[in-house]
Every structure is written in C-alpha cells, then in structure tokens.
Amino acid sequence: MSSPSSEIFRRGVQIQKRTLIAWSAALVLLALSVVSAWPSMESSGALEDFSTGLSPELASALGVDQIASASGYLKGNLYAVLLPLLLGLMAVTATTALTGGDEEAGRLELLLALPVARRQVFLVRFLCVAFGLALTSVLVWLSVYGSVVSLDMDVSAGGVAAVTLTVALLAVLHAGIAYAIVGFGFGRGPALGVAAGVLVVGYLLHGIAPMSDALEPLANVSPWEWALGSDPLLNGVPWGGVALLVAVSVVVVAAGTYAVDRRDIKNA
C-alpha cells in the first residue's frame, strides 16, 4: 500500500503531466533549433559582425560578447537569457498552480483530509515541481549534448552539464520564492507576480548593473549572477554559486512550509 505522501506526489505529477510535456517539448525544440543553426551561422560569417556597434558591457549583458565561438554562440542564444527565463517561468507557474491555484479552487481539501500534515501536502507539491524541472532540464541537456557531439562543436560535455545544472537550480529557487509567498497566504496571483518580478529584476541586476560603477556591486545579490556569472559553460560548475542557490532555496521553502502550517486554508 502506498503512503499518503507518495500518493500526493503521484497525483501532483499526474496533474501537471500535460503542462510538463508541453514545456519540455517546447524547450527541447528550442535547444535543438538553436544548436542546429550553428553550422550555417558559422559558415556564413554572420556571427563575426553580430555584436558590432554594441558596447562591451552591453554585449556581455546580452551574452553575445563571444558569440563567434561555439560556446559563445550557445551562451548567447540559449543559456544567457532565453533558457533561464523560460525555465524560471515554467517553475513559477507550475508552483503557483499546484499550491495557490488548487487551494483557491478548493481542490486541496480532499488531500488535507488525508492522515498527513498540511505542511507535508504543500511540501510534496513543491517536490512535484522540482521533479518536473529536473526532468525537463535533463531532456534539454541530452538534446544539447547530443547535438553538440553530432555537429562536432568545440563545446565541452562538462560545460553543457554545468550550465544546465545552474540554470535548473536558478529555476528551483524562483519556484521556492513562489511557494513561500503562497505559504504566507498571499494567493496565486501575488505569488506569480512577485516571483516572476524577482526573476526579471535578478536578470537586470546581473546583466545591466555591471554597466555602471555605482550599481555594479548590486549584481552580486542576483541569483542570475550566482548561477551564470562565472560562465559555467566554459569554466565548469560554480560551486560557490551552487551553494548559494541551494541554501536560499532551502530557506525560502522552509519559511513557506512553516507559514502554511500556521494559517487558515482558503476555501473555494
């Protein structure tokens, strides 16, 4: 007989199955289309002039400062902005739907009637989202790595794994922020707005703050900087950044779990 927690996890994964398939397919197709365009872009020489006219700071912010190289091309067209942003939005929307959305619609009442603590119900729902993010990230990594090998691109396997890991952890952190906001009782809408806002502001601090001497120190508080600031595609796993991403994720999820156990659950 399955435990209540495993049943909650199974049902949570089942609920998000269609959305997870759609997100995974879209991100895999995005990754494949970006990598498959490399041979034609390289042979045409168009990449050499891509960042012409941009200041070095702006080119770095957009991730196109080394776009003529294979690793720079992957970074600029996939890992610098697009994949972290989309995976982060996937994380935030899935978290708010499985927690705040189901609570506001009254769908959590049956689960809360099971012999399991309220905090456990919410925490397992968060783990469902983390599982979906991990699965999607692995599929993207396999797609990119397989394409890189087949096209004989000068990109290391370790670099692709490292940057995919940090982008996935970045998404988990923002899922945790949405989870914490729901945990404190603010509902799906505010959680979605605040977590998405933190995602965008974090990118701006990471990409734009270094352009100004006065604002440059602010880049260090951005989760994007922790994940991508050391260019993991070239330099491998940034263990300090990974530790920060994991630590902050644990803190915000623990705070949300603590809070949800001490408030009233909304009814539909």
Question: Residues 180, 259: contact at Cβ < 8 Å?
Answer: yes
Question: Residues 198, 177: contact at Cβ < 8 Å?
Answer: yes
Residue 30 within a domain: yes
Residue 52 within a domain: yes
Residue found under tokens 């408030």 = 263
- Residue-wise pLDDT tens digits, 205-233: 888 876 777 777 888 899 999 999 899 99
Amino acid 132: pLDDT: 96
Helices 188-207 and 82-96, packing angle to 10 deg: 160
The share of the chain scoring above pLDDT 90, in percent, equals: 54
Residue 225 within a domain: yes
Q: Is the pLDDT of residue 147 over 90?
A: yes
Six-digit token string for 111: 């689960």
What values do phi and psi take at 3, rounded to 5?
-75, 160
Residue 64 within a domain: yes
pTM of the model as a whole: 0.90
Give the structural domain span for 58: 4-260
- pLDDT averaged over every residue in the chain: 86
Residue 141 within a domain: yes
Residue 268 within a domain: no
Which 8-state DSSP code applies to residue 114? Answer: S
Cα 77–80–83 angle (5° rounding)? 75
Residue 266 within a domain: no
Residue 250 within a domain: yes
Amino acid 181: pLDDT: 96
Total of domains in the chain:
1
